[in-house]
Amino acid sequence: MKIEFEEIKQSESRLRKIIDTIPALVWCGLPDGSLEFFNQRWRDYTGLSQEEAHGWGWKAPIHPEDLEKFEDAWFKFVASGEAGDVEARIRRFDGEYRSFLIRAEPLHDEHGNVVNWCGTSTDIEDRKRVEEKLRQDEIELRQITDAIPQTITVLAPDGTALYVNRVALNETGLTIEEVKAHGFFTRAFHPEDVDRVRAERSAGLLRGTPFELELRARQKDGRYRWRLIQYNPQRDEQGRIIRWYATGTNIEDRKQARQIVAEHVRGGVRRERSGRKG
Residue type, 250: N
Q: Domains, the chain, ranges and CATH?
A: 2-123 (3.30.450.20), 139-260 (3.30.450.20)
pTM of the predicted model as reported, rounded to 2 decimal places: 0.61
How far CA 102 is from CA of 27, 71, 91, in Å, comes to 10, 12, 14
Per-residue pLDDT of the chain (278 residues; tens, 9 = 90+): 555 545 545 556 666 677 777 788 999 999 999 999 999 999 999 999 999 999 999 999 999 999 999 999 999 999 999 999 999 999 999 999 999 999 999 999 999 999 999 999 999 999 999 999 988 988 888 888 888 888 999 999 999 998 899 999 999 999 889 888 877 888 899 999 999 999 999 999 999 999 999 999 999 999 999 999 999 999 999 999 999 999 999 998 888 887 777 676 666 555 566 666 55
The sign of the dihedral angle between the CA atoms of 200, 204, 205, 211 is: negative
Residue 273 φ/ψ, nearest 5 degrees: -65, -40
